[in-house]
Every structure is written in C-alpha cells, then in structure tokens.
Structure 1
Amino acid sequence: MFKSQLNLSFLFLQFLVLQFSSTVSAIRDNIGFREKTLCRTTVQGRYLLSDDNGYVCDALSVDPQSRCCPVKGEKFSCQGCNLLSQCCNSYEFCVSCCVNPARTQKEQVLKMKIAKPATAGNFQSVFDFCAGRCRHNSESVVHENAYLSDFHHCFSLRSNSSGPGVTQLETRLNGINVFIGRQGDSCDSVCKSKGQSCVVNKLLLLNQCDIIQKYFSCKGGCLASMGADQPAEVVDDAPSHLNPTACLYTRTQAMLSCDGSHRHTRRLCPCA
C-alpha cells in the first residue's frame, strides 16, 4: 500500500515538472519582441506618396505604425513613365519606378554625390537617390519658369547627352533606314524620295544625343530645344541665335512629327 502511494506521488511530481517546464518554455519563447518594419516615404505630393518598398498609395491608406503603403497593386510601378527617357508625369510613380533594383544599381548610386561641390555628401540609399533625382531639375525647365514637358520627373543617372545604352537603342532600330534630310525638308518628304515612309514612333529612338552624333558632326554641341523638326542639325549659315552647327533634340516628345521642318535645319529621319 505504501509503495503504491509512493509511485503515485512520484508520477504526480513528474507531471508537475513537465507542466512547469513547458510553461517556462512558452514564456521564454514570447519574451522577444518582433522587430517592426518601418518605411520611409516621399512627402512631396498632396494626395499620393511612395514608400521605399516601391509601392504607391494615397496618404489615408498608409499604415499609421509602420508608415508603409499596403502591399497591394503593382510594386515598382512605372505608371505614367516613359521608360526610354526615364521620365514620368508623376513624382510618386517616378520614385516607385526608380527604386526597382533592375533599373537603379545600388552600387552605382552610393558612389554618386548629392550635389556638384566636392564637399557634398553621397546618397545613403537608392530611395534617397530616387526621391532626390525625381524632383524637378534644370534639365526639365525652359526659360526658368515653365516645364519642357509633362514628363518632368526624371530618374536617369545621366542626362540626355549621354542617354540610355546606345547599343540597345540601335538594336531597336533594326529594319529602319536612317536618312539625313536636306535643309528645310520634312521626314515625310525625305522618306518619300527614297520610296519609303517615315516611321513616326522611331523618332523617339533617334531623339538621343549619342545617336544624333553618329550622323552629324554636331560641332556646336548637342542642345535641348523645342520643335517638331527634331532631331536635327542646324546648318552652318543659320543666324547666330539659332546656334549654327549645333545638334538638337527635344524633351517635349509629343511634338516629334514626320511632317515637321525648319528652313535652317537638316532632319534625321527613320524610314521603312
């Protein structure tokens, strides 16, 4: 009888030990707190913002604790962006498109200076670069008081004068014959004289200084301009205020046209 009671007491003691140890274990598992994810966001827009995860949302839908946009919709959205010029008509979507690792290389960005002076600091992250680069800059304005185009939020690492990879652009011109027109000719007339037609959507590909300089000498440099007669080169005997021998490209891409012409320029024309 005594031995039976002793065995029962021993089993009860083991049960208590097991219960206590599992409770302690559970408590210890819950001692640590999960690290909260905090987002950085743009603050320029009145209605929209972009977070450093690459999402765009309206200000009312931001998580009040994490400051992150809801994880829905397209990540790294390029809505309203021209991916060739890398310019957008919205600041927030410009930042969202820019922070995509496939578009902006972190190693390259972290080496860049925030401003031109040698004493200027470097960007600390891709988000810092994109948030700064997508704001307005001198390349997107004309006469210092108007925008060249609605697409004035640009995130390219380099300006148009050293634009996207030339090899890639030239590949997209496969099947296109590029001709230099005579002074005052439109691309419609240039292509027609060759028994071909002007391909208007290829004008955008030619509207790059690196491409233009392969066909013209551009002794007067490569300049941003406005007009339907571009890309083109200003003839030698043009009035001085028109920048003789300069090559011209336009940031107002909507103006590019096959029928545009100017009596003091020679056009670069895509024909097929």
Structure 2
Amino acid sequence: MLPRERREILLGCNLLSQCCNSYEYCVSCCVNPARTLKEQVLNVKIAKPTTAGTYGSVFDFCAGRCRHNSESVVHENAYLSDFHHCFSMPSNASGAGVTQLEGRLSGISVIIGRQGESCDSVCKSSGQSCVLNKLILLNQCEIIQKYMSCKRGCLASMGADQPAEVADDAPSNLNPTACLYTRIQSMLSCDGSHRHTRRLCPCA
C-alpha cells in the first residue's frame, strides 16, 4: 500500500483538496466515477446566474470545472497554490442565492466567535444554544464572506471548526486570514474548535 502522503497526492492531484497541478490531470481525476457522481454534477449550473444552464455530462463538468475559478486565486491575480485546477463541486452548488439562504436563517443569530472558541461556547456566551442543522447554511463561501473579511479567499478544508476564518497570526501553512468551509457535511459540529480559527456560529 502507498504511504498516506502518496495516496493523497496521485498523478499531480491532491485527492483531499480535489485540486491538481495541471488541467489534464484534473480532468483525468475528475472523470473517475469513484470521485465524481454523475447524478450530482448534472444538476450543477455552469455559471452563477439563475438563467445559466447545467452540464450535459460528467466530462463537460470536469472540463469546465478544472479551468481556473475564483476559488483558486487570491487577490484576483495570484494562485493560492500550484494545485489550482480543482474539480470539486462549487461551493454554491445548491444553486440557492444568498438572499434565499439568509431567509432560511430567519430567527438565527449569526455570531463570530473568538479565536479557538467552539460554537457551543460562542452561543452560550450570549445566552443561546448552537443550532447544528443551521451550520450547513453558513458553510458556504457567499455567506461566510458576508460576515468575515476572508482576505485570502474562501477555501475548502476538512475540520470540525468550520465554517471559520483563520487568524491573521496563524502559521503561514494554515493560510492566515482565509475563510474555510468543509465539503464533508458530517463534520459540521457545534463543539469543534481550532486554536488558529474563529468560527461563524448559528445561535438561537
């Protein structure tokens, strides 16, 4: 069996971040049925406007998605890393607009926590409780960027402390001032925390 780091980075692609260092490798990894589900991508809009069409095939999705997109750049003129051809589902894949998402947050106090603080603690400080099933609504770049500065963009990550923003004094390898969302919804947690991030919390 390959060592873990070799399994995660295969053929120029980081399988955890779903990003590759070349367009060709990206498309090749993306069309693998084990990594991209046909029934999911055929519902993804090609562009953000509500009038935009959807992809006709997995290959079309991969060919389009692997091109550079706003989630792979920082300051609009530099790549976040050499692995900037990404085939992950777009963070707004649900197609729901910000206004629609905010409507579903009616009655929820969205509070930014202190560095290293869990949402359970954040909400308790204001006499409220964390509403776990609302974290999925906050776990989207468009929403995170309404509440946090996200100076280094909005990045997909893996952690129970997300959605969150990395503190500006965090080690450089943790992408200071970047906002983070998780692609793995089962990881969303009210009690998760990280000493280098500030969480975005739904309280009620």
TM range (shorter): 0.5 to 0.7
RCO higher in structure (CA 8 A, sep ≥6) = 2
Tell me the CA shift for residue 127 of structure 1: 6.5
In 2, Cα distance between equivalents of 1:235 and 1:259: 19
Give the letter for the 1:173 counterpart: L
**CA shift digits 1:216-243 (9 cap, x unpaired):** 1111111111100000111111111111
**Structure 2 residue runs without a partner (length 5+):** 1-30, 70-82
1:231 aligns with 2:177: no
In 2, Cα distance between equivalents of 1:45 and 1:210: 29
**Structure 1 residue runs without a partner (length 5+):** 1-43, 47-88, 110-125
Show the 5 A alignment for 1:87-102.
91-94=37-40
1:216 aligns with 2:148: yes
CA distance 1:135–1:205, change in 2 (3 Å): farther
Q: TM-score, normalised by structure 2?
A: 0.62
**CA shift digits 1:59-110 (9 cap, x unpaired):** xxxxxxxxxxxxxxxxxxxxxxxxxxxxxx98343367569xxxx97x633x
Runs in 1 of length 4+ with deviation above 2 angstroms?
Answer: 89-99, 126-139, 161-164
Match of 2:79 in 1: none
Match of 1:189 in 2: 121
RMSD of aligned Cα (Å): 3.5
CA contact (8 A) 2:150 2:179 kept: yes
Show the 5 A alignment for 1:20-99.
91-94=37-40
1:199 aligns with 2:131: yes
1:160 aligns with 2:91: yes
CA contact (8 A) 1:188 1:197 kept: yes
- The structure with the larger Rg is 1
CA contact (8 A) 1:203 1:269 kept: yes
What is the DSSP-based 3-state SS (H/G/I as helix, E as strand, rest coil) of the residue aligned with 2:168? coil
In 2, Cα distance between equivalents of 1:92 and 1:161: 18
CA contact (8 A) 1:161 1:222 kept: no
**CA shift digits 1:149-199 (9 cap, x unpaired):** xxx7x5xxxx22796300000000001011110010000011111111100
Question: Paired residues, what number?
Answer: 153
